[in-house]
Amino acid sequence: MAGAHPHCDTATLRAWTGQALARLRQEAARSADTHLLRLEFPGFPGIEFYFKDEAAHPTGSLKHRLARSLYLYALCNGRLHPGQPVVDASSGSTAISEAWFARLLGLPFTAVMPAATAPRKIADVQALGGRCDLIDDPSQVYERAAWHAANGACHLDQFGLAERATDWRGNNNIAESIIGQLAQEPHPEPAWIVCGAGTGGTSATIGRYLRYRGLPTRLCVAEPAGSAFAHGWRSRDRTATGSEPTVIEGIGRPRVEPGFLFEVVDDVVEVPDSASIAAMTLLEEQIGRRYGGSSGTNLVACLLLATRMRAAGKRGSIVSLLCDPGERYDQTLYCPDWLARNGLDPSAAEAALRATLTTGDWHPVA
């Protein structure tokens, strides 16, 4: 095979693999868990909102957990060799985390990314020593990553392997962490956990864990309007495709990824891009830090679910994720000129969300 990694004898491979696994264990031991931030809104007495700050990871996003798991999976399956190039398709955050771990293990890394990816994300991959292979058509990133793999790279394959690479029964996965952190709270078994779906790995891990523990908590996936996963989940059609493009990176995939598990998801909420962007502003006001677009999508879904709970006279807690830092979107979602060029005006959605926060009644966003 052209460009394939040279043969490595068994003893050398086992020794190197052992060293690489030890480095990943050491890194995990050095990493503290992320904070679970509590918010309360005037329109929702008796309902607590919690947001797990995954932007606090060393690589700045939820994908730090996934990247570590993908490297562990590749190593333990004998797919990753000393000095072998590593590749994956990504819209940015996973690539940043994978580049960080590649540097830790002394391996060359290439991220196959849509050319429209936020410039800050591209720069972050490059700052970690990674290379960005930018593709004009986002639907072609999979084929391009496979091309790199055919030429000797180890394909981490987040879209194909995320749901199986993560240990959903425990071992400090995100679901176990959330439930553990809620133990002393007024409603330790949340009514809902809300997350987006990029690879499908996070929703699969959380949904499986809730069932494994026998918890009554339901799982909601928050998605950009018109996403393939929303269409696919409602029709149980794995061939479904997206009907609307989105500027919210990391979620809203154009196809139903292999890791999406329909059966563990209890509801899907579709959120217009303008509402996700407006919600970013509300998060900054509440927490004092900026977060990315998918965090805004999560907040909108949380508020919709809370209005349903309030209307039904229910109390409880809702938990969601803060996925990555807003600084990565300074030149896009936080830039007024960029929003104007892309025909996005979040002002009406922001007014509607503020009214919802105050009254507890759902004010439709568009």
Token code pair at residue 262: 């329909």
The predicted model scores a pTM of 0.93
Give me the domains of the chain, ranges plus CATH numbers: 31-58+168-359 (3.40.50.1100), 63-163 (3.40.50.1100)
Low-confidence stretches of the chain (pLDDT beneath 50): 1-4
Question: Is 155 in a helix, a strand, or coil?
Answer: strand
Q: What pLDDT, on the 0 to 100 scale, is given for residue 172?
A: 63
Question: Please, which residues have CB within 8 angstroms of residue 163's CB and are 6 or more apart in sequence?
Answer: 199, 200, 201, 204, 205, 258, 259, 261
Provide the pLDDT for residue 5. Answer: 52
Q: Report residue 59 as tokens.
A: 């690589």
Q: What is the DSSP letter of 321?
A: E
Q: Which of 10, 29, 155 is nearest to 80 (CA)?
A: 155
Rounded-to-integer distance, Cα 189 and Cα 306, Å: 15
d(CA 351, CA 357): 10
- Structure confidence at residue 166 (pLDDT): 86
89 within 8 A of 144, measured Cβ to Cβ: yes
| pLDDT score for 1 | 35
Segments of the chain assigned E as strands: 36-39, 47-53, 86-89, 109-114, 131-135, 154-155, 192-195, 218-224, 267-271, 316-322
Q: Tell me the residue type at 211.
A: R
Cβ proximity of 333 and 293 under 8 Å: yes
d(C-alpha 363, C-alpha 304), whole Å: 9
- What distance in Å separates the CA atoms of residue 188 and residue 173, rounded to the nearest whole number? 18
